[in-house]
Amino acid sequence: MATVFEMIINGDIPSTRLYEDDECIVILDINPVQKGHALVISRKCYPTFTDVPMETLSHMMEIARKVDMKQREALHAEGTNIMINNSPASGQEVPHLHIHVIPRYAGDGKTPAMSKGTYGEGEAAEYGKLLHL
């Protein structure tokens, strides 16, 4: 079944398009964290960050940076969150790769609510070994 983003790309569902090229499109998120919240979406449907070819991902990051600069210029954003939810366990709702670019303002209270913890004795070293590249 086509993802909602494939339907948007095919023009079956309306969207506010900010940009498009051969690799990706940029639209406004229908439920913005802040007004101007944009999604950089791969034209081809790669379900996750882990599936997309590196060249496409690099290109999408380049476009995400242009969106960031435009949000700073046109909306006077003081910062942005550049986010990819990667797989359902992380909160990804649409299984079609997209990068969120969210304009942010000092004290806007919109910080993604992730509760942070601490490591117990020796745990950081264990995780360090497990994750060493």
Q: How far apart, in whole angstroms, are the C-alpha atoms of residue 20 and residue 128?
A: 40
How many CB atoms sit inside 10 A of residue 82's CB? Answer: 14
Q: How far apart, in whole angstroms, are the C-alpha atoms of residue 12 and residue 90?
A: 28
Candidate residues 20, 65, 94, 110; the one interacting with ligand 5GP per rule CB under 6 A: 94
Q: How many residues bind ligand 5GP (CB under 6 A)?
A: 13
Tokens 């117990």 sit on residue: 120
Residue 70 vs 100, nearer CB to ligand 5GP = 100
Query: Count of alpha carbons within 13 Å of 129, Cβ hemisphere only?
Result: 4
Residue 56 vs 85, nearer CB to ligand 5GP = 85
In the complex, what is the shortest distance from the CB of residue 117 to ligand 5GP, in angstroms, rounded to a whole number?
Answer: 23
Judge whether 100 counts as a catalytic residue: no
Residues that bind ligand 5GP (CB under 6 A): 4, 13, 15, 27-31, 85, 91-94
Catalytic residues: 98
